A = this chain, B = another copy of it.
Amino acid sequence: MISYKNTSTEELKEHLASLKAVYKEYQGMDLRLNMARGKPSNDQLDLSMGMMDILSSQDDLTCEDGTDCRNYGVLDGIGEAKQLLGDMMEVPAENIIIYGNSSLNVMYDTVSRSMTHGVMGNTPWCKLDRVKFLCPVPGYDRHFAITEYFGIEMIPIPMTEFGPDMDLVEKYVSEDESIKGIWCVPKYSNPQGYSYSDETVRRFAALEPKAKDFRIYWDNAYTIHHLYDEDRDYILEILEECRKAGHPDMVYKFASTSKISFPGSGIAAIAASHNNLDDIRDQLTIQTIGHDKVNQLRHVRFFGDIDGMNAHMRKHADILRPKFETVLEILERELGGLGIGSWTKPKGGYFISFDSLDGCAKAIVSRCKKAGVVMTGAGATYPYGRDPQDANIRIAPSYPPLADLKLATELFTLCVKIVSIEKILSERGA
């Protein structure tokens, strides 16, 4: 195809008219499709329904160390759940605390505790004049929402396909004591699906922060969420790398089974050094008597071990893979060579990231919505919801059935074309 920029104004105008006619047809279809959030589809949820039968009224709900999972106690998780999530998170079980149903909640509580009580004996952040976080962009809106909520200043750091711009990260972290953290989704990143290179991970581990209480918030949300059996990303294990680099306490790693078993009914965990875990337990013992051990046991008995969990993830992949491939095919077929957008091609995770011409993202999302297709709000992938280029759009292919997804993606590409032509024409003063 010829790029729109090399197409004559006359031809573009004609093309726009025909595109708008097609758009009208879509509007007449009364679509109600949603590509906004990384929600598993019903098919995926069905995969874990066996979990409902795995514990029965006749069962002994005692765990390996003799604890009755039905009663009070066990602050930081039953041993076998620590083992399972330790294997999933690639750290020893002893470096794990099991939480409730949501890793987002664990991250929130981690920031909240740092605000009120500080990190490992350091000054509580609420007593400081300024606290800042580095935010690789585009990134995850709910991360940014936590730091914004606590009045933490967010500094955007550009992402590359190898991870965040580490020159910039090193400079900020080593020079500014008010930098207390950085949000990372190191594997199949949200929204780009990038995985950090070995060099990036090693440079993270080698950071020499000015602030003693600087922590890397390593949200390993998609650690085993591959789309392909062979062609998958591997990243270095950050706790181990930090330990080797002499900074064992510099990282908190988060994960959950939300997109493995059930969102909202899974189990979440933090992995960190013993010093950090002791610090956390001092607080946790005030906050709760313990999390849901029956649900921990339910997960352990359903998955068995990490092999069982990986086998389960292949079933998720079989459902997700055609959806990602469909979206990518349509994007390539409809937009390839037009010079009006670029997109990522992830091998795992839940998202595809699309970059439009500058200044077009909001208009594209708005046009989609008017025809019944809801996308993640433009700007959501940036701190404070402000994408300075107004270019990034997150595509979440997981939830709609394949037929709906096709329709939605076709409409999306149509909107990209319309908005881009309007933009080009307006730049030409035409």
A interface with B by C-beta (< 8 Å): 37, 39-40, 42, 45, 48-53, 55-59, 61, 68-74, 100-102, 104-105, 108-109, 112, 115-117, 124, 126-127, 142, 145-146, 149-150, 258, 262-265, 283, 286-295
In whole Å, how far is A100's beta carbon from the nearest beta carbon of chain B? 5
Bound Cα distance A264, B124 (Å):
30
B108 x A72 contact (CB < 8 A): no
A101 x B104 contact (CB < 8 A): no
**Secondary structure dominating the interface of A:** loop
In whole Å, how far is A52's beta carbon from the nearest beta carbon of chain B? 5
In the bound complex, residues from chain B placing their C-beta under 8 Å from that of A72 are 37, 39, 258, 263-264
Bound Cα distance A59, B46 (Å):
11
A-B CB contact pairs (8 Å), 18 listed: A45-B68, A45-B70, A45-B71, A51-B57, A52-B59, A69-B264, A72-B264, A100-B292, A105-B287, A108-B286, A108-B287, A109-B287, A115-B116, A116-B126, A124-B126, A149-B286, A263-B289, A264-B294
In the bound complex, residues from chain B placing their C-beta under 8 Å from that of A59 are 52
Bound Cα distance A117, B115 (Å):
11
In the bound complex, residues from chain B placing their C-beta under 8 Å from that of A286 are 108, 142, 145-146, 149
Which residue on B lies nearest to A124, using beta carbons? B126
Bound Cα distance A70, B47 (Å):
11
A50 x B45 contact (CB < 8 A): no
Bound Cα distance A292, B57 (Å):
20
Bound Cα distance A113, B48 (Å):
35
Bound Cα distance A69, B45 (Å):
10
A295 x B265 contact (CB < 8 A): yes
Bound Cα distance A287, B73 (Å):
24
* Contact of A291 (CB < 8 Å), options: B51, B101, B112, B116: B101
* Contact of A56 (CB < 8 Å), options: B53, B101, B117: B53
* Contact of A42 (CB < 8 Å), options: B49, B55, B68: B68
Which residue on B lies nearest to A116, using beta carbons? B115
